[in-house]
């Protein structure tokens, strides 16, 4: 009977997404700032301009369109659509074009080195932002690999690309690669973001080595090896999300990022496992979305050393089913401090308490409905009041 009631409530929440959910009374006019919030989806995700977003919004999922909820409360929100399995570089270029209403330019040096077209979709006249400059800043929020995408975008905005400037005539250079725009970004927030990569990539090999593996573990192989890339269009196999999610390349990517002393950084790590007094980490598969349960089980047991020498010991084992909680706190080369609200530090990753949930919990869940609206109101209000 409990399961039947739970199912009926889920159906009601899906059909009437604003029913029976506490409605926040937010007065943004009292906030210190109210810059636009840019939501960047993760691996396999989609933005607000896709045909199926209204039916199943990435930001909100079973609970209904969270961006509409937040917009109704005075927050200005946009959600670009970037390549599902593209590299952090490519996705950052795509987000920039949509925000500014320009044609996607992946860069002369990058496109030639990675063997793909330099230009992509043209968003001229379709800018998501009415204005974007040092007076009209933005707050970037990225879920999962969207967190790395957001930091890559912030890096390019601030410092551009020396490699692109070296081979591109000034008249043809994308303004993204020129840099000098660090003061256009007010904050960057990572939501279950694999800043330093994830052992899920290595677990793919562990699962492949098994003669018989459960279906949900096979789904890990399909996701990491298929959805994440490589992209089979003749390009360099490293130019994809799957490569940037591997621990060594992910950490190498963080080494290219310089964290601005004038920008606020926040992160919300997730965890759905438990570690006992003997240091043994386990997961209860019943608590997870089915597609993440298999990965979490293997990640709870995995230890090893990467080819680059990164030791993945037991501290890496707590996870949300796709991302190690340790990796989601902050890039290893950045300063980090625990954060629970109030005044935040600039240039430092202000790390919220670990959120109890699996990898899609911060989106509202796939099959497990999870009300996360109040959490976003809290996060965004904290940002606005810095």
Instruction: Give the Cα separation of 384 and 35 in Å (integer).
Output: 8
Q: Which two tokens stand for residue 174?
A: 């994308």
User: String of b and e for 324-360 (b: at least 16 CB within 10 Å)?
Assistant: bbbbbbbbeebebeebeeeebeeebbbbbebbebbbb
Q: Extract the tokens encoding 133.
A: 């400059």
In a domain, 313, yes or no: no
Report if residue 232 sits inside a domain. Answer: no
Structure confidence at residue 292 (pLDDT): 86
Confidence (pLDDT) at 48: 93
Which tokens belong to 171? 């008249």
Sign of CA dihedral 226, 227, 233, 236: negative
pTM above 0.75, yes or no: yes
Extract the tokens encoding 322. 């796709």
Residue numbers of the domain that contains 166 = 2-197+248-277+324-384
Could you tell me if residue 216 is inside a domain?
no
Q: Where are the beta strands (DSSP E) in the chain?
A: 36-40, 77-78, 103-105, 119-122, 138-143, 185-191, 264-268, 270-271, 273-275, 281-283, 304-305, 311-312, 336-338, 349-351, 355-356
Count Cα neighbours of 276 within 13 Å in the Cβ-side half-sphere: 4
Count of all residues that appear for the chain in the document:
386
Rounded Cα–Cα distance for residues 142 and 189 (Å): 6
SS3 (DSSP) at 32? coil
Q: 18: which strand partners?
A: none
Decide: residue 174, CB within 10 A, 0-12 exposed, 13-18 middle, 19+ buried: buried
Concatenating the DSSP letter of every residue in 184-252 gives: GEEEEEEES--TT--THHHHHHHHHT-SS--HHHHHHHHIIIIIT----SSS-TTSSHHHHHSHHHHHH
- Predicted local confidence at residue 5, as pLDDT: 35
Burial class of 292 by CB neighbour count within 10 A (0 to 12, 13 to 18, 19+): buried
Residue 55: predicted pLDDT: 87
Give domain status of residue 312, yes or no. Answer: no
What CATH number should be reported for the domain holding residue 102?
3.40.50.1820
DSSP element (H, E) containing 332: none
The HSE-up count of residue 145 (CA atoms within 13 Å, CB side) is 31
Whether 210 is covered by a domain: the verdict is no
Place of tokens 């979709």: 121
3-state SS class at 136: coil
Kind plus residue range of the DSSP H or E element containing 62:
none
Mean pLDDT, 10 residues at a time, over the chain (386 residues)? 38 44 75 97 92 91 92 96 95 98 98 97 96 98 97 98 97 97 98 96 75 68 65 89 94 97 97 94 86 87 94 97 96 98 97 96 89 95 97
In a domain, 202, yes or no: no
Q: DSSP secondary-structure letter at 287? A: G
pLDDT at 246: 93
Give the separation between CA 184 and CA 3, rounded to whole angstroms. 48
Instruction: Tally the domains of the chain.
Output: 1
Residue 193: its pLDDT value, please?
Answer: 98
Q: With respect to residue 76, please indicate whether it lies within any of the assigned structural domains.
A: yes
Token couple for 370? 């999870």
pLDDT at 18: 43
pLDDT at 107: 98
């Amino acid at each position: 009977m409990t399961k039947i009631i739970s199912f009926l409530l889920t159906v009601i929440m899906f059909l009437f997404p604003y029913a029976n959910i506490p409605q926040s009374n937010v007065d943004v006019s009292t906030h210190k700032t109210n810059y636009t919030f840019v939501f960047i989806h993760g691996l396999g995700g989609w933005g607000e301009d896709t045909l199926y977003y209204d039916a199943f919004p990435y930001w909100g999922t079973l609970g209904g369109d969270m961006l509409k909820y937040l917009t109704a409360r005075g927050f200005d929100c946009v959600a670009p659509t970037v390549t599902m399995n593209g590299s952090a570089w490519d996705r950052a270029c795509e987000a920039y074009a949509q925000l500014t209403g320009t044609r996607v330019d992946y860069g002369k040096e990058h496109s030639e080195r990675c063997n793909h077209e330099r230009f992509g979709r043209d968003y001229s006249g379709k800018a998501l932002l009415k204005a974007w400059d040092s007076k009209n800043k933005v707050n970037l929020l990225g879920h999962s690999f969207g967190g790395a995408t957001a930091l890559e975008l912030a890096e390019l905005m601030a410092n551009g690309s020396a490699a692109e400037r070296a081979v591109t005539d000034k008249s043809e250079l994308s303004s993204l690669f020129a840099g000098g725009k660090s003061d256009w970004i007010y904050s960057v927030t990572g939501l279950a973001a694999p800043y330093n990569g994830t052992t899920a990539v290595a677990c793919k090999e562990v699962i492949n080595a098994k003669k018989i593996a459960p279906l949900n573990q096979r789904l890990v192989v399909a996701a990491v090896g298929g959805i994440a890339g490589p992209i089979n269009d003749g390009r360099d196999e490293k130019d994809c999300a799957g490569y940037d999610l591997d621990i060594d390349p992910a950490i190498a990517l963080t080494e290219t990022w310089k964290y601005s002393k004038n920008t606020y950084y926040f992160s919300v790590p997730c965890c759905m496992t438990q570690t006992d007094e003997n240091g043994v980490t386990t997961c209860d598969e019943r608590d997870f979305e089915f597609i993440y349960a298999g990965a979490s089980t293997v990640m709870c047991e995995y230890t090893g050393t990467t080819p680059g020498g990164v030791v993945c010991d037991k501290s890496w084992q707590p996870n949300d089913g796709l991302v190690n909680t340790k990796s989601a706190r902050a890039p290893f080369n950045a300063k980090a401090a625990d954060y629970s609200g109030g005044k935040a530090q600039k240039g430092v990753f202000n790390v919220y308490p670990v959120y109890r949930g699996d990898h899609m919990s911060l989106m509202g869940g796939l099959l497990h409905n999870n009300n996360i609206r109040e959490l976003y109101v809290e996060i965004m209000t904290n940002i606005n009041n810095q």
